[in-house]
Structure 1
Amino acid sequence: MDTKVLQFKHITLEVETPIAYVTMNRPNKRNALSQEHMEELTECFFTIGKSKEISVVILRGNGPAFCAGHDLKEMLNETPVFYQQLFDTCIKMMETIQSIPQPVIAQVHGIATAAGCQLVATCDLAIASEESTFATPGVKIGLFCSTPMVALSRAVGRKKAMEMLLTGDSLSAEDAVAAGLINKAVPANQLEEETKLLATKISQASSYTVGVGKQSFYQQIEMQQNLAYAYTKQVMSMNAAAVDASEGMCAFIEKRKPEWKGC
């Protein structure tokens, strides 16, 4: 799939094989998620998901913030049908991020609020600058962050999720690490380097194996333990019979670097 032909209004896509950089580009709106913006992100991630050349995706924001959530000006005085369509679009975007085989790393700076916090919680991994803050402040404006709650409550503990949702208070980057919302907080001048370092490390593994692992992670995470073991046994048996698994095991035994085939 040729990602170079994609043209967007609200995002940019740059590919430095094997890493793709998806940049939200509404800096004057703090990258607020309009309907069109979310549709573009969905299309972009869906297309990336079909690429054999891309192993990892870094999602970041241009301007002073990562993402300020939904575009509230777009939402004023609309109909229930409009809101249903808007949140359908948001859910499709979030599900697309988790359904593609490539791991998606959020590179967070500034604020990540409401649906922006949901976006961080949805990404497979997240690294943030130490100055970043995270919040689900919808309760303060009469609009409870119900859809962000889905991703947030699956990323952090129940008590912390409820505290964030009920108070709308911000979480520091340090506290976000402790809560499990992000993986690491680093000085702002190291954010890009640290995120790329993580992406590069992941890209050295078999893209086929990583894709199998990502899909099975989200499938098993909500299962009962016995069902999760039954499911992952089948996945691992299939994986063990794959070309890259055979190559990886042989390379380990022979003390050499594996040559991945992506299958």
Structure 2
Amino acid sequence: MSDELIQVEIDGHVTWLTLNRPDRLNALSDDLLEQLGDVLDATVNTDARVVVIRGAGRAFCAGYDVAPDSAEVGYAAERTPVEDRDRLLGNIELFTRIWRHPQPVIAAVHGHCVAGGAQLASMCDVTIVADDANIMTSPALPLGGGYLSPLWVHRVGGQRAKLMSMDAGRRITGAKAAEWGWAAEAVPADELHDFVRRTAHSIARTPGPLLRLKKEAVNRAVELEGLLTYARTGAETDALLHLTPEVRHVQSRIKEVGLKAAIVEFNADFDAEFGSVRGAR
């Protein structure tokens, strides 16, 4: 694998962008997000008509990097509420650049697609998933709230967005995500690459300026429903919750015992009474 956090592959009129932190399941670090923004900017004045975002290795994206050895664990605690809100808004603004990118952007989702990964995919124009993908809007621990779920409202409705947000660690398969309308299509995992490539090249038959105007027409309709406004609002809610004793406690446990052990602790009482909470539902 390349040392680049975003790999770029030119395939005729289709540009493939691969999130390249497979050892961390492509968790979103500051450096990865910065490179993604730079690469997106670089594709604007090219012959590309369609951009595809995918993940290297076993996952599309495991969300924001909250492992104990990442800078993200203490981020909220180390900043003022306004600084934390601005940091979160910066991520929203990056994903908004995907939404407003002049070329259609397809998310090709396989394996794990968690929290920030689902946030990223939700801002792409078309999301195509492996039917066995593991998709979660909220992390397996209560680390914040309201940051990710608003982007699901315009795809699956308020009720399902609340369910995915309020039930920490709730996950659905790619097949269920397509059934709900979060994904455009679900296909067998071993067919995902070929299906996405065929779809991307089929879209790319249409000249770039026409695709741009088609995308803008649909985007305008969705934006009139408030998509970008409530996406930004989620940053304020999350920044507020990062200050609560409950979230501070979870952050401290991650630092002390590690992410996996903290998840086991959080689920222990539930698992003892009802059986494991993990697994697609």
Q: Report the Cα offset of residue 173 of structure 1.
A: 1.1
Distance in 2 between residues matched to 1:113 and 1:207, nearest whole Å: 32
Q: Is 1:157 aligned with 2:157? A: yes
Q: 2:150 and 2:138 mapped to 1: Cα distance?
A: 15
Alpha-carbon distance, 1:28 to partner: 0.6
| 2:58 partner SS | coil
Q: Which runs of 5+ in 1 are unaligned?
A: 1-6, 225-263
Q: What pairs up with 1:1-263 in 2 under 5 angstroms?
A: 9-51=4-46, 53-72=47-66, 73-78=70-75, 79-81=78-80, 83-138=84-139, 140-168=140-168, 169-223=170-224
- How many pairs align? 216
TM-score under structure 1 length normalisation: 0.77
Q: What is the distance in 2 between the residues matched to 1:142 and 1:107?
A: 27
Structure 2: distance between partners of 1:132 and 1:108: 7
Aligned partners of 1:145 and 1:29: how far apart in 2?
23
4+ aligned runs moved over 3 Å, structure 1: 81-86
Q: Once the 2 structures are TM-superposed, how far is the Cα of residue 76 of structure 1 from its aligned partner?
A: 1.8
Equivalent-residue separation in structure 1 for 2:89 and 2:147 (angstroms)? 10
Are the structure 2 counterparts of residues 144 and 107 from structure 1 closer, same or farther at C-alpha, using a change threshold of 3 Å? same
Give the secondary-structure state (helix, strand or coil) at the position aligned to 1:80: coil
Structure 1's 145 and 38: CA in aligned 2 closer, same or farther, altered over 3 A? Answer: farther
Q: Cα gap change, 1:209/1:23 in structure 2, threshold over 3 Å: closer, same or farther? A: same
Question: C-alpha distance in 2, partners of 1:208/1:145?
Answer: 39
Change (3 A) 1:83 1:10: farther
| Higher RCO structure (Cα 8 Å, ≥6 apart) | 2
Counterpart CA distance in 2 for 1:22 and 1:58 is 6
Q: Percent identity?
A: 27
How big is each residue's C-alpha offset from its partner over 1:53-104, in whole Å with a ceiling of 9 and x where there is no partner? Answer: 0000111000111000001132222322563453233112201101111111
Secondary structure of the corresponding residue to residue 134 of structure 1: strand
Output the CA distance in 2 between the equivalents of 1:56 and 1:20: 6
Task: Specify the code of the residue in structure 2 equivalent to 1:148.
Answer: L
**What is the CA–CA distance in structure 1 between the aligned matches of 2:87 and 2:29, rounded to whole Å?**
8
8 A Cα contact 2:149 2:164, kept in partner: no
CA contact (8 A) 1:35 1:86 kept: no
Say what the alpha-carbon RMSD is for the aligned residues. Answer: 1.8
TM normalised by structure 2 equals 0.72
Deviation at 1:114, TM superposition (A): 0.3
Q: Deviations over 1:148-201 (max 9, x none)?
A: 223222222111111101113001111100111111111111110000111011
Distance in 1 of aligned mates of 2:155 and 2:95: 14
Q: Are 1:98 and 1:122, in contact at CA under 8 Å, matched by a contact in 2? A: yes
Q: 2: distance between equivalents of 1:84 and 1:222?
A: 22
CA shift digits 1:5-37 (9 cap, x unpaired): xx9731101111200000000001100001111
Q: For residues 218 and 147 of structure 2, what CA distance do their matches in structure 1 show?
A: 21
Q: More deviation in 211-220 or 11-20?
A: 211-220
